[in-house]
Amino acid sequence: MRHRRLMICADPRWLQAIALSLLLSACSGREETGPPVLNWYVFDEKSGAFRDAVRQCTARADGRYRIRITPLPADADQQREQLVRRLAVRDRDIDIVGMDVIWTAEFAQAGWILPWREAQAAEAIMGMLPAAVKSAVYQGRLWAVPFTTNAQLLWYRKDKVDRPATWDELIDAAEAFDVPGALQVQGQRYEGLTVFFISLLASAGGAVLDHDDTEVSLEPVPTRRALELLKRIGNSPAADPALSTAREDQSRLAFETGKPVFMVNYSYVWPSARQNAPAVAGQMGWMRWPAVVEGLPGRVTIGGINLGIGAYTRHAGMAFEAARCLASEPNQINAAQKGGLPPTIEALYRTPEVRARFPMADTLLATLQDAMQRPRTPFYYDLSLAISHTLHPLKDIDPDADAVRLREAVGRALKSEGLF
Amino acid sequence: MKARGNAERRLAWLLCAPAVTAMLLVTAYPILYAFWLSLFRYDLRFPQHRQFVGLDNYVSVLSSEIWWKSVVNTLIITAGSVAVELVLGMLLALLMFRATLGRRTIRTVILIPYGMITVVSALAWKFAFDPTTGFVNALLNLDNAWLTERWSAFFVIIFTEIWKTTPFMALLLLAGLTLIPRDLISAARVDGASAWQRFVHVTLPLMKPTIMVALLFRTLDAFRIFDTVYVQTRGAGNTETVSLVGYNVLIARLNLGLGSAVSVLIFIGVLIIALLFLKGFGTPLTRQQGE
């Protein structure tokens, strides 16, 4: 950076203005009058459903508090980076945190969020999907109230292919088309690749960590099976030429061009296709993930947002109340209708409002009821980096060697050692 | 005479003192603190488990295959971009120097890429090379997914770097060109030297200190490359640079000890480069116009 200084014209008046505005902004902020403001840190939801929830809950508080959204970036990694930096220095302004399901163990263990008292917890999670609740539980306590959820489905072209029963059938069917990119999956080196691997592994009957999420599991047979499948997909003529940089959105856009026949993706692709490519949407089918080994149904990991309470908040009592209100039934219905975010309250999947927005509600619900958790360890980020860095790019996977490398990398991740 | 020199020297130090103190506070303190942190096993998530481990973090980094791969990648990007930038920068500098018509316009236009935020230019070129949204494939009649393969990804990264920082190189070199006495060039011309001979035997030797400074600045800058790689590949496909490794450990994994060790090693890398330049070129940097 040294040379850049040469380029700046240091006009003192200009510098003074900056210094003054910095000082002023540092002083302001604390001088608001009226009821206390609860800051809700959550990703910037574009449809306005979260803002509706804020208005509704502020009205319900009847002047005791106001809720204010502080928007975070769209990318989950960047959301976490910003939150962690604030929480690690005990930011008292974080009252409610919109947490990705994979942060629960880390934030809880670090003491960055408050646990829910038992009576409160029991009420808050009433009627909610067990898998969504489990994603907010760590070491026997509830750390957040589930607000929205999500899981991947298999999307296919009803006019071109039949519903495959297994992943092998799926790949065969995609290859029969002789179109590069006929099969759309996520192969970039990021969380999505970790999700893909963990889901395949779970469908093969394995898991990354043992049942209490403390030791490496990665049983040899299912691990090998999952790695072989990834390798086959990576080298398949049906794979996208840009597989190694493909994320969910690239898959969605590719599918909307009409060439692909299969896609692994979340439910947001449906309204998008209806808007951007009605012809494709008309032929779009959905189903649960096919089996990896015959006899075991395909299973995928659960995603979504839970609402936790910042550990350093000045208004803990009100924050718990506000979080419950934000995640309550009317707001979940609105988030589903307006924002396309699947609810965590199980009964809502049978209401006409939600079914109108999610025609795939039954398939989604069945997937969610059987969904599994990503490893619930405070070192999840280390572990996820270890997995995606070891397995990228898919086409270079060597099942024997990589099973060993993976076990070794995950072991180091659990101790937070070494580089990935 | 001597006493006066000493007094002047003392005054010079006194006048510099506030700046030196400020520099020490804002640069030396963080560097020393990073070194101190690098001796601990220290995770931001669990500050209470902080533990002194001596040089263990350095052993862990230096024995890691990932670190050495990233060093090689960084050197590839550094060498590739700086070499081309020097040649292009020299051409642009000569152009700016010689231009008689619209001199200010030419200088301004050449500087535009440098005025752009790195993230913006990285994104712009990422989209340009993208097979679905980009124009590059259409222009060259190709069907490449540029950022998915290691060498083509390097090409895009280096290209972006060159596009963005060549103007800086050109500007520094232009400053050197203007320092060359006109009479030397005229004398050479009178002696019958061709344009190429005048450039190689008069201009280049006189510009050596400037070229050296420009190269040093750019190499140090290029060695710490982060934004372009972060935006374009995030280090995938074996294009990870040392700064990206540091970022992953420090910011994503919150491992302050190990991450600080990586940062200190990058700093040492920068020091080595600076020393190599000073020794290798043998140009006394501080006596450019003094003698």
* pLDDT digits (tens), chain A, 420 positions: 344 443 444 455 555 655 555 555 554 445 457 899 999 999 999 899 999 999 999 999 999 999 999 999 988 889 999 999 999 999 999 999 999 999 999 999 999 999 999 999 999 999 999 999 999 999 999 999 999 999 999 999 999 999 999 999 999 999 999 899 999 999 999 999 999 999 999 999 999 999 889 999 999 999 999 999 999 999 999 999 889 888 999 999 999 999 999 999 999 999 999 999 999 999 999 999 999 999 999 999 999 999 999 999 999 999 999 999 999 999 999 999 999 999 999 999 999 999 999 999 999 999 999 999 999 999 999 999 999 999 999 999 999 999 999 999 999 999 888 888
What integer pLDDT is reported at residue A2 of this predicted model? 41
Per the structure, the complete domain to which residue B119 belongs is given by: 69-287
Residues B31 and B93 both lie in one domain: no
- Tokens 């052993």 found at: B59
Per CB-CB distance under 8 Å, the chain B contacts of A76 are none
Question: Which of A188, A240, A245, A385 to mutate: most B Cβ within 10 Å?
Answer: A245
Does B255 contact A416 at a Cβ distance shorter than 8 Å? yes
Residues B157 and B201 both lie in one domain: yes
CA atoms in the 13 A half-sphere facing the CB of A144: 33
Residues B259 and B160 both lie in one domain: yes
Which chain A residue has its CA at the smallest distance from B59's CA?
A: A418
Residues B146 and B248 both lie in one domain: yes
Does A242 contact B236 at a Cβ distance shorter than 8 Å? no
- Find all residues with CB under 8 Å of A36, minimum gap 6, and list them: A65, A66, A314, A315, A318
Residues B281 and B154 both lie in one domain: yes
State the smallest CA–CA distance between residue B129 and chain A in angstroms. Answer: 12
- Find all residues with CB under 8 Å of A302, minimum gap 6, and list them: A101, A131, A132, A135, A149, A150, A151, A368, A371, A372, A373
Domain count, chain B: 2
CATH code, B172: 1.10.3720.10
Residue B46 resides in a domain: no
Does B236 contact A245 at a Cβ distance shorter than 8 Å? yes
Residues B32 and B85 both lie in one domain: no
Residues B204 and B156 both lie in one domain: yes
Residues B134 and B28 both lie in one domain: no
pLDDT for residue B286 is more than 60: no
The SS3 call for residue A97 is strand
Residue B53 resides in a domain: no
Give this prediction's pTM: 0.86
State the smallest CA–CA distance between residue B101 and chain A in angstroms. Answer: 25
Does B45 contact A245 at a Cβ distance shorter than 8 Å? no
Which chain B residue has its CA at the smallest distance from A396's CA?
A: B237
Residue B48 resides in a domain: no
Distance (Å, whole) CA A134 – CA A27: 42
State the smallest CA–CA distance between residue B60 and chain A in angstroms. Answer: 6
Cβ atoms of A189 and A254 within 8 Å: the answer is no
Please give the DSSP secondary-structure letter assigned to residue A75. Answer: S
What integer pLDDT is reported at residue B2 of this predicted model? 64
List, as one string, the DSSP characters of A193-243.
Answer: HHHHHHHHHHHTT--SB-TTSSSB---HHHHHHHHHHHHHHHH-TTB-TTG
Residues B115 and B208 both lie in one domain: yes
Does B248 contact A420 at a Cβ distance shorter than 8 Å? yes
Give yes or no for a cis peptide into A393 (omega within 30° of 0).
yes
Q: What are the DSSP E strand ranges found in chain B?
A: 40-41, 51-52
**pLDDT, tens only, A325-360:** 999 999 999 999 999 999 999 999 999 999 999 999
**pLDDT, tens only, B225-237:** 999 999 998 888 8
Per CB-CB distance under 8 Å, the chain A contacts of B248 are 385, 419-420
Residue B130 resides in a domain: yes
Which chain B residue has its CA at the smallest distance from A4's CA?
A: B168
Q: A–B: how many Cβ contacts below 8 A? A: 83
Map out the domains of chain A with their CATH numbers.
34-150+302-369 (3.40.190.10), 153-300+379-414 (3.40.190.10)
Residue B118 resides in a domain: yes
What integer pLDDT is reported at residue A4 of this predicted model? 41
Residue B60 resides in a domain: no
